[in-house]
Chains A and B, each alone.
Chain A
């Protein structure tokens, strides 16, 4: 049974207050709060387990390595990867995309090749591709969307050709909440021989992901958006592809043998994990995933969908409010503008009521350009949010209209 009060009890920060008001945290697309078990897992590592991994014959190093590698297994099963060595620890989604763009891109892209991205990508899934396109002479093509924030699939198919070498697509848009039909898009991209990188930063906490069923070639996400720590994230890649790719960073852990003449590289996943990793973070990410599994993504999705509907209904009480992103298939994100009030002012007034939302371009400037707005205000949901949170949001929004639009 999904019990939101019991879940909230596990998040210490949700008991705090801001500017004398109880914290109403609705900035989950930026980062989620951490349950006590994750905080404990991280500090427990330093309390009783701290040692470097893969390097010591001593017991502590072995225990730390076991805990670290167990987290990799947890992640593998969570996303349905076929092999544990397909799970590479990175600093986050951003680093994972940079790894693929740089390592795979440099080895495979030629002048005239095309990288297909969508209009609603986060800057993290645009800029790394731009850099590699500049270096290799490849071109970027953009899948357009319509004014509900839904991708135009006819255009998508028209853009696909034998020149398309990579499709970079977000599963869920952080600025709009749109859920993209990635399964279908992957199939189409594969038909022309392109690879597909799915950005799962905003989907991984709202829906079940199975990379084997999706048949995506790469999948990335960040721990901190999944109730885990900052500074840790994941790259999933198909084994054959990862094996064929050159190393991204070089150093300790990623080598077999080093002489000044030549070095040979370690096998997967270590080939891509140069240097001492964020051991505590990886272990605590494993704990965060176990936490999510213990509640169940199906129930979480159901709970969040109810809240999103409730917010959409409440929004009708404010005629000046315009929802940005009205795709049929949408999760978690309630992005909006208000006639006559800049999102930044909305953010400050909401903050004075203890309501934390994000205002700005959400690292998705092409989305803002499309809607011809400088910014939006965005409330985004997680499993611990409640109807009371949405009510607090709208009480504060009515205060905005009183102050600005009376």
Chain B
């Protein structure tokens, strides 16, 4: 039960009910789609990248509380970051949700998702937005899937 509370923290409910940076970015210069075939979650990520920096970022899609909150938190944290910083956050986040270890880099509010590591079936939900980001930054045209 304590694990469940760890997973579903108030912040996660908040971001699930009121996702930040939700919608299309019309003048985006990077875009990528993510898909979790297991649960039908899908996500569209839009970015404006200029001079190696994420100027703006938004997402659209439908998913569970974990995937929606994770995408919402990700967009909040990434706005204004350089691509190198984004890369480091991606690696740190990945380490946290897959191993449960605290990464060397400070993940800020992303750490509310640390509880996911206790629920292996949900790691994909938390990572979908980050894998989609990775694809957008590497200009991949293939939709990302978690499978």
A residues near B (Cβ < 8 Å) are 341-345, 348-349, 352, 359-361, 365, 368, 374-375, 403-404
How far, in angstroms, from A386 to B42 measured CA to CA in the complex?
37
Residues on A with C-beta less than 8 A from B62 are 374
Residue B121 is within 8 A (CB to CB) of chain A in the complex: yes
* A107 to B63 alpha-carbon distance, docked (Å): 44
Asked whether, in the complex, the Cβ of B13 is within 8 Å of the Cβ of A342, the reply is no
Contact status B39-A343, CB under 8 Å: yes
- In angstroms, Cα B39 to Cα A102, docked, is 30
The answer to whether B122 and A374 touch across the interface, beta carbons within 8 angstroms, is: no
For window 6-28 of B, CB contacts with A under 8 Å fall at 7-8, 13
Assess the A375–B40 pair: CB atoms within 8 A: yes
What residues on A are CB-neighbors of B122 within 8 Å? 344, 348
> Distance in Å from the Cβ of B119 to the closest Cβ of chain A?
6
Instruction: From the candidates A352, A368, A403, A404, name the one contacting B40 in the complex (CB within 8 A).
Output: A368
Which residue of the partner chain, among A344, A361, A404, contacts B13 with CB atoms under 8 Å?
A: A404
Taking CB atoms, residues of chain A closer than 8 Å to B38 are 360
A7 CB to closest chain B CB (Å) equals 30
Collect the chain B residues with CB atoms within 8 Å of residue A342's CB.
39, 63-65, 68
Partner of B121, one of A348, A365, A374, A403: A348
Provided the pairs A359-B39, A374-B39, A404-B13 are in contact, do residues A345 and B4 lie with their beta carbons within 8 angstroms? no
Which B residues are within 8 Å of any A CB, using their own CB? 1, 3-4, 7-8, 13, 38-42, 62-66, 68, 119, 121-122, 125
- Of the candidates B1, B3, B42, B64, the one whose C-beta lies within 8 Å of that of A345 is B64
Minimum CB distance partner of A359 in chain B: B39
User: What is the CA–CA distance of A404 and B17 in the complex, to the nearest angstrom?
Assistant: 10
- Docked CA distance A361–B41 (Å): 10
Q: How long is the Cα–Cα vector from A345 to B13 in the complex, in angstroms? A: 11
Residues of chain B with a CB closer than 8 A to A344's CB:
39, 41, 63-64, 66, 122, 125
Which residues of A lie under 8 Å from residue B42 when comparing CB positions?
374
Q: Show 12 A/B contacts (Cβ-Cβ < 8 Å), sorted by A.
A: A342-B39, A342-B64, A343-B64, A344-B63, A344-B64, A344-B122, A345-B64, A345-B66, A361-B39, A374-B39, A374-B41, A374-B42
A349 pairs with B4, CB closer than 8 A: yes
Rank and list the top 6 A-B pairs by shortest CB-CB distance, nearest first. A374-B40, A342-B64, A344-B64, A352-B4, A375-B40, A345-B65
Determine which of B3, B64, B68, B125 lies in contact with A352 in the assembled complex, contact meaning CB atoms within 8 Å: B3
Q: Whole-angstrom distance from the CB of A234 to the nearest CB of chain B?
A: 28
Q: Is the CB of A375 within 8 A of B8?
A: no
How many Å from the CB of B23 to the closest CB on chain A? 19
- For the complex with contacts A342-B39, A344-B125, A368-B40, 18 further pairs of A-B residues with Cβ separation under 8 Å are A341-B65, A342-B64, A342-B65, A342-B68, A344-B64, A344-B122, A348-B7, A348-B121, A348-B122, A349-B8, A352-B4, A361-B39, A361-B40, A374-B40, A374-B42, A374-B63, A375-B39, A375-B40
Cβ–Cβ < 8 Å partners of B68 in chain A: 342
A194 to B1, CA, bound (A): 55
CB A350 to nearest CB in B, in angstroms, measures 11
Cα separation A375 to B63 with both chains bound (whole Å): 10
Q: Determine the chain B residues whose CB is within 8 A of the CB of A404 once the complex forms.
A: 13, 65
B40 adjacent to A360 (CB under 8 Å):
yes
Q: How far is the CA of A219 from the CA of B64 in the complex (A)?
A: 38
A343 to B66, CA, bound (A): 12
